[in-house]
Each structure stands twice: as structure tokens, then as C-alpha cells.
Amino acid sequence: MDMMIKDLIEEKKPAILQQWFDAIMATYPTDTSGFLKDQKDRFRNPVGHTFTEGMDKILEALIAGEGLEEELPFIDDIIRVRAIQDLTPAKALSFVFSLKGVVRKELEQDIKKHQIYGELMKFESEIDRLALNAFNIYVRCREQLYELRTDELKRMTFTLLKKANLMSELPVEEFGHRDSPSINPNNGSDKTKE
């Protein structure tokens, strides 16, 4: 990214971050977004703190031109929060793309004045790369979440069957946690004992 756009973004960083935060909050119901916006204590509002801190570091990485194809812990933190919330994938990841609109709006006059459309396109390409990385993180987080839910259902079923004295009919291995040493890795069948 060329120096002109970097300088303009750095100069208007507080306004860009505030508008970006507002765009993210618009994806939540009013009562939730009000709390996330108003509560500034990082211990009472860890989600809001994660967002504000992560957004600042994301913007810094974009300005510095750091390797966005690598795993970045600050984007990972935001995506983990969004992945466990009841949002569609498009809505969960829309915050990355909303940065484009915020930057265009905030720098509109400067972009026209200095004719830096090419630099803006390069910056937006970096945001697109960031979005692809965010999508990979989101999918990984959702997979982990589904695995945890499946394991919990297995444990609950095992407990209910055990309480109902029906466990003698089913092998215990089928209800164990996949990381548990009691599971036989060579036995992947779902057959019950006869």
C-alpha cells in the first residue's frame, strides 16, 4: 500500500475505528449493542473489549502491510466470539467487509482530491485477503463447536442410558470422548453388542 493512503488512514484512525465499531454493533439487537457500546470496563464487557482491541490491531496490521495470510491472534479472538453467537456466517464475517465502506466514507474527500483510487483498491484487496483468512478461522471455530456439542450429547446419552440400566446392551466406547484413552481408535463402528 502506498504512503498516501497509509498516512490518511493513520490520521483518521480514531474516526475510522469508531465508525467500524458502530457498524459491527449494528449487527446485534439494540439491547446487546447498547451494552457493548456503553460498558467500557473490560471485565464487565469482555466482548466489547475484545472487539475494540482487535479492531485497532487489525487496522494497524493493514496500515503496516503485515502478512495477513498468517494467523493473527487479534482476528482470531473476534472470530471466536462471532462463531459462538447465533449469527449466520455472512453476518458473523460482515464486520471485515464493513471496514471498506467506513474507509471510503471517511476518506471520500481525500480520495477524490488526491486521486488515489488505485491505492484504495490495494487497501481493499488487503481487506479481502483478511476476510478469506477470517472465513478459515470461522469454519475451524464452528467445527470445534459442533464437535463439542456432539461430545456433550454423547455424554448425556451415556449418562441417561446408564441411569436407566440399559448400558449392558451398548459398548461404553461409543459414548466416550474421542480424546479419552478408553476409546479404541481401530473400532469406528456404531454397532451395538448383541
Alpha-helical (H) ranges within the chain are: 3-11, 13-25, 30-38, 46-64, 73-84, 89-114, 117-163
DSSP letter at 168 equals G
Pick the closest to residue 20 from 109, 130, 111 (CA basis).
130
**Between residues 172 and 94, which one has the greater pLDDT?**
94
pLDDT at 177: 53
Q: Does 93 reside within a domain? A: yes
Cα 185 to Cα 67, 174, 177, 180, 189, distances in angstroms: 39, 11, 12, 10, 10
Rounded CA separation 143/145 (Å): 5
pLDDT at 123: 93
pLDDT digits (tens, 9 = 90+) for 23-46: 998 888 777 767 677 777 777 788
Q: Does 99 reside within a domain? A: yes
Q: Does 187 reside within a domain? A: no
Q: Does 174 reside within a domain? A: no
| Residue 169: pLDDT band with limits 50, 70, 90 | low
Q: Does 125 reside within a domain? A: yes
Q: Does 32 reside within a domain? A: yes
pLDDT at 3 over 90: no
| Residue 96: pLDDT band with limits 50, 70, 90 | very high
Q: Which residues contact 39 (CB under 8 A, 6 or more apart)?
A: 45, 48
Q: Does 51 reside within a domain? A: yes
Rounded CA separation 85/30 (Å): 15
Q: Which domain holds residue 13?
A: 3-143
Residue 58 φ then ψ, to 5°: -65, -45
The domain total for the chain is: 1
DSSP secondary structure string, 97-121? HHHHHHHHHHHHHHHHHHT-HHHHH
pLDDT digits (tens, 9 = 90+) for 59-87: 998 988 776 666 678 888 999 989 888 78
pLDDT at 193 over 50: no
| Residue 20: pLDDT band with limits 50, 70, 90 | very high
Q: Does 60 reside within a domain? A: yes
**Is-contact 32 51, C-beta < 8 A?**
no
**Is-contact 102 8, C-beta < 8 A?**
no
pLDDT at 126: 92
